[in-house]
Amino acid sequence: MKSDFSFNHIALSVKDVEKSINFYKQIFKFKEIQNAASKSKTRWLSIGENKQLHLIYRPDAAIKMNKAVHFSFSTGHFENFITFLEDLNIPYSNWKNTPNKDYVREDGVKQVYFQDPDGYWIEVNNCLV
């Protein structure tokens, strides 16, 4: 049986919604869209292809991270993106935590990891399949 599910959005608990909104807008050029669900402090960003990132204000939430729990974006401009991170002094690493180094997977895909203001891990790679 074929799956009839498709990815809709990811929601993150954040301590400072304005700081997080600005981070994702600056780093990924995501556009803010209307929070159609409520009049809360939760803010939404369009991440393309009718997918969304919801940033939910939770100033007292305990957020525990490890690199295995991450989300990923792909770009055809991987080397330019690395330069962009460096220009903004955003630390990045490979999977093994080597600073300022990318990782090349066995399938040839390059990837780097960095964290948002709340510590969520983000992977950016050059896999455009």
pLDDT single digits (tens) 93-112:
999 999 999 999 999 999 99
Range of the domain at 99: 70-125
**How far, in Å, are 79, 81, 111 from residue 88 at the CA level?**
14, 11, 18
Structure confidence at residue 111 (pLDDT): 97
More confident of the two residues 3 and 115 = 115
Structure confidence at residue 64 (pLDDT): 82
pLDDT single digits (tens) 56-80:
999 998 888 899 989 999 999 999 9
Can you give the CATH number for the domain in which 16 is found? 3.10.180.10
DSSP bridge partners of 123: 72, 113
Res. 122 pLDDT band, cuts 50 70 90? very high
Q: Are residues 74 and 52 in the same domain?
A: no
Q: Flag whether 3 is in a domain.
A: no
Structural domains in the chain (count): 2
Helix residue ranges, H only, the chain: 17-28, 78-87
Structure confidence at residue 129 (pLDDT): 58
Q: Flag whether 1 is in a domain.
A: no
**How far, in Å, are 14, 34, 44, 128 from residue 119 at the CA level?**
9, 25, 19, 26
pLDDT single digits (tens) 15-49:
999 999 999 999 999 999 999 988 899 999 999 99
